[in-house]
Every structure is written in C-alpha cells, then in structure tokens.
Chains A and B, each alone.
Chain A
Amino acid sequence: MIRGKSLLRASAAPSPRCLLRAYGRPRTPCCQAHGYRPFGVTASLYKKQMPPRPKVNEDELEEKFLKGTPKKPIGGQKKLILIYGTVNKTSSAVQLRHIPAGIVVKSQETRSREQNRKIARQLLASKLEDIEKGDQSRNNVLKQVANKKKASKRKKSLRKYRKLDEAKAEAAGQLTDGSDNESEVAGELEAGEESDGEWEEEEEEGASGSAVQVAENGPVNQLQDAKADGNTPSEKPEQR
C-alpha cells in the first residue's frame, strides 16, 4: 500500500489502472505494472520460512575415512598407506555412523574430503529428522511444497486450455458442446483453491488460487464500482 501511494506522488501520469490498484488490493507491485521489476538482494519477506536445516550432534558421531582398497600387509611388507605420498588415492569418501541410532551414511559426492564430510553430516541429519518428526521434517515439507507447485502448474495449464477451448468453441459457435467439459475443469480448479494454503509462495499475477479470481476481474469491477460511487481514486484519472 505504502509503495503504491508513494509511487502515486512520484510519477507524473500514472495509469488509471495502476491508481486503482494502489487503493484497492494490489496483487502485483505497481512497478511491475509500469514495466519494470523490483530488484533487491535481500530475501523477500513474504516468502514463508522453511523449517531450518537439521543438525547432528558431533558427539554422537563416528567418522571414518574410507580408502579406495584396503591394503593388507602381505608377508611382512610394510603397510602401504603408512607412508605418505607413496600412493595417490582419489577416494575422498567419508562414512558417518550415528552411534545411538545405528544409522550409517556414506558420501563420495565430491573430490574434497571436507566437502564430503559436510554432505555426509547433512545426509545423516535429514535421515534422523525424518525418523524423529515424520511429516514435519524439512525433507517432507520441501516435498510437500514441490507437490503444491506442481499442482498449481497443472491448474495453470488446465485454465489455459480451458480458455483456449472456450475461444475455439466461441469461434465455432458451439458453446453448448463445451459446457460439460468446462464445468468439470472448473470443479477441479475450485478443489485446488481450497488446498492452496500454508506453503504457497509468491507467484505471478493470475498464478493460482483465490487471488486469481480478484486479479482476473478485479480491476474491471473496481473501475466500474469506482465510477458508480464517484469516490476519490476514480476521480483522479478523470481529472486529467
């Protein structure tokens, strides 16, 4: 709201649509309507916080660095691994064991042992959290978010094709044939709106859920309402 108002003062000739949005319920910031996007390096505030990355207690860990092939001393021969530099092993695998839970994880992801140590700890921590918290663990929450996004994408595409179908049907003058199809899709859409909730993230205008309805017919309705009521926001554009 504040951003919208300040922009109202700053810009010489804002479009009526933008003005209305400033006073109404702006779904997109005004700057986007003006054709530029906000740029910032700070994380967006509206984004819902994900559960923090789990950590493991270092005291409960047993760490092992695996060597490529275990070298067994044969017939009095000195252990090969003892003398540094005599072999150049490329294995940087790290194996972690959580002693209380008895879980073992291994990482040979990167060539850096230090990196693998971190990766193994993360792996172990998320495994432990999965066991401890079940559905509430970070892993599962992230999965749920991904599923929601997928569902929202599907809704978008359904809407798009419904519109296309409608346009086609209109063009062909066969509105009656398409009515069955339409209601089916609409039903699915509404069902999706209800499930849209906690972990929904900021999306483009007309992206998903209940906000879409406002965005689709909001400006037009508001414009009409404003004209009828004759209140301040609608008068300003008329003064020009």
Chain B
Amino acid sequence: MPRLPPHLVTTARAQHPLLPLLLRQTRTLPLALSELRWLREYISQLPNLTLSRQHDHLRHLCRRRSLGAPLQYLLKSQPFGDVDILCGKGALIPRPETEETVVRLFSLLESQLHKNNHNNALLPTDRELRVLDLCTGPGSITLLAASNLYQLHLPRGFRVLGVDISRAALTLARRSLKYNITTGALPPAAKHSISFITADILNSNTHAAIEENFGDGSVDIVIANPPYVSLEGYWKDTSRSVRLYEPEMALVPPSGRDGVRREDVFYPAIESLSRRVHARAVVLETGGDEQSARVEQLFEGSGWRTGVWVDFAGVRRNVVAWGDDSWSWLATSSHS
C-alpha cells in the first residue's frame, strides 16, 4: 500500500484531530470525513453519555478503525436495502453487490406481476410463495427479500427460510430480524414468515430440514451467496481487514472434492438441492466472469436455462437459472 502523502495527513489533522487515524484505512479524505460523520452520528445516539465520554468513545472507535476494524463492526450494523443488518464477529458483512442482486430480483418480479395483473403462473396457487436463502450468513438476503416481498402484497403471502452452517451468524440473523421489527423496517408479522435453520448444505441433511419448515418441501425461488473465494485468492486478494475480522468460513469453501475446484464446491450442491425442492428459479452470486461461466455451464448441463447479470462494477456477478419458460424474464439485463 502506498504511503499516505504528508500533506494529506496535515490537511486532515487541521480539519479534525482524529481524521488521520481514519485515513489509514480509507486512504482518501472525503471517505474519511464521511466515516467520521457516521461514527459521530452513531455515538450521539447512544444513551447516557456525557460529552467528554462521547469524545473518549469516538477516539476509541477511531483507534480501532485505524487498526483495520470494519466500520460496520464499530457501528454494529450495515444498511442493506430497506433493512439494517446487525454486524459482528462470526458473520460476513453484507456487500453492496448482494444488495443490488436482491433489489434487482424483486423489482423484476414486481414488474412481471404488474404486467400480468397477478393472475399468472408465477405465483403458486395452493400455497404461499416460498423463498430459500442458502448460506444466509447474517440473514441479509433473507431479511431484504422479506421486506421486498411485503411490498408486493402477495394474495397468499410468502415465507422466507435462511439456511446457514454457522450458529454465530444465525444468532446475529435472528437478532437482526427482531431489530428490524422494532425499527419498523419489517412488520411484526415478519416473525412468522421468516425463519432460520442451521444446516450444512454440503451434507444431505439439508433437504430434511427444509421439509420440516416447508410442508411438502417445495420452494419457488432459491437465492444463494455461497463462499466462493479460492484459497490463493483469499491470501492474495483479500484486504488485511477482511482477513483479520471477517470469518474465513464465509469466504472460502471447506475443501475441493472429486474434480471440482475448491471455490466452486457449493454450486453443484446448490444445484442438486434446487432440483430436489423443485425450485422454479435460482439466483446465485459468483466471484466474477470466469466463475460465472463455469456455474452457467454446470446449470445448463443439468437442464436449466440460464442467464447472467452484470453488476454495477461491470462484472458478470450473478448466474440466474430457471426451469420453465414463465420465468424466462429473469434473463432481462436492462438494469442500468
């Protein structure tokens, strides 16, 4: 990392004595100013702090930030679409790419429902719409999906199930659910339409666990943001802050198996699970162009029709797959 130019540190210090600390991580002055503003906003809304205590706390947080602690851990949450996801040790901080994926999926679904005036083959007729979020982590996709689905006012309602192997992450996810109900981002009824279960997707017990929650075990939409960073990629590309603070488990799959690359291990498992639950649409996040191509090939090989979404940075980020033609609108890539 290039050294910070001394004049930058001087200008920063002139604006606020704590700014140089933040500059160590942000590297640019505007971002450092924004982070300082967010930290101050967070501290000012903490209860029972005298002014001098507030200042001490601000200095403490800036020190921790300068050592690489993620801002989201210090502020204890990250806005994710309309909901706030609580952040803490043991769960990956939700990233904007995922946010974009979920927002895009449900805005597409909404426009489809409007186009066909709610009476089409998209929605199941005999039960609620079911969404399965595999590798949910801190529950970010699950909660945002639910908040988006509430806005659709589906006649038969919906249910979202988040699955993850990490108990720590799911504890955080359940807390996030309660937190969003208290802030009003989700209605109180969300308690009944959202659930989280602990299961290992790479083992076969997942389907039984899903059946326990979803009567006949069938699901409409599967969304997954599995760990997909290779081991080399983890050591070479990840920033120090990510390696120090965020769980490796959420980024790197456990191990490669029979001819499948380590970073791709989750995709075949997700594909076979999606087939077992009769999913009508699958939305996956991948590490980028090459991995997207491999995942697309995998799904096409199993008889799915596929498409790819490009994210805001111009990366082929998502692979979408669907079984019957009523979901072919998923391939629309008209997003700006």
With A63-B336, A88-B239 in contact, is A81–B78 under 8 Å at CB? no
Residue of A nearest to B228 (CB): A84
> Which of A63, A78, A91, A115 has the most chain B CB atoms inside 10 A of its CB?
A91
- Shortest distance between the CB of A75 and any CB in chain B (Å): 13
Q: Taking the complex as formed, is A87 at the interface, i.e. its CB lies under 8 A from any CB of chain B? A: yes
Stretch at the interface among B29-37, B117-125, B159-167, B301-309: B29-37
- Give the dominant DSSP class at A's interface: loop
Residues of A within 8 A of B250 (CB): 85
Task: Sort chain B's interface into a size bin.
Answer: 35 or more
- B208-263 contacts to A, CB under 8 A, are 228-229, 233-234, 236-239, 241-242, 246, 250-251
B237 touches A111 (CB 8 A): no
B28 touches A86 (CB 8 A): no
9 new A-B contacts at CB < 8 Å, known A80-B239, A82-B287, A111-B71: A81-B313, A81-B315, A82-B288, A84-B228, A88-B95, A90-B35, A111-B79, A114-B79, A114-B99
Chain B residues proximal to chain A, CB less than 8 Å:
26-28, 30-31, 34-35, 38, 70-72, 75, 78-82, 92-93, 95-97, 99-100, 103, 228-229, 233-234, 236-239, 241-242, 246, 250-251, 285-289, 312-313, 315, 317, 336
Q: Once the chains are docked, how many angstroms separate the CA of A62 from the CA of B336?
A: 8
Residue of A nearest to B290 (CB): A82
Residues of B within 8 A of A67 (CB): 313
Chain A residues proximal to chain B, CB less than 8 Å:
61-63, 65, 67-69, 78, 80-92, 108, 110-115
Residues of A within 8 A of B97 (CB): 84
Residues of A within 8 A of B79 (CB): 110-112, 114-115
In-complex Cβ contact of B242 among A68, A85, A90 (8 A): A85
Residues of B within 8 A of A113 (CB): 96, 99-100
B315 touches A82 (CB 8 A): yes
In-complex Cβ contact of B239 among A62, A63, A86, A92 (8 A): A86
B242 touches A83 (CB 8 A): no
A84 touches B35 (CB 8 A): no
Q: Once the chains are docked, how many angstroms separate the CA of A67 from the CA of B228?
A: 22
A108 touches B34 (CB 8 A): yes
Q: Once the chains are docked, how many angstroms separate the CA of A110 from the CA of B28?
A: 17
With A112-B79, A113-B99 in contact, is A83–B28 under 8 Å at CB? no
A68 touches B237 (CB 8 A): no
Q: Once the chains are docked, how many angstroms separate the CA of A70 from the CA of B80?
A: 23
A108 touches B30 (CB 8 A): yes
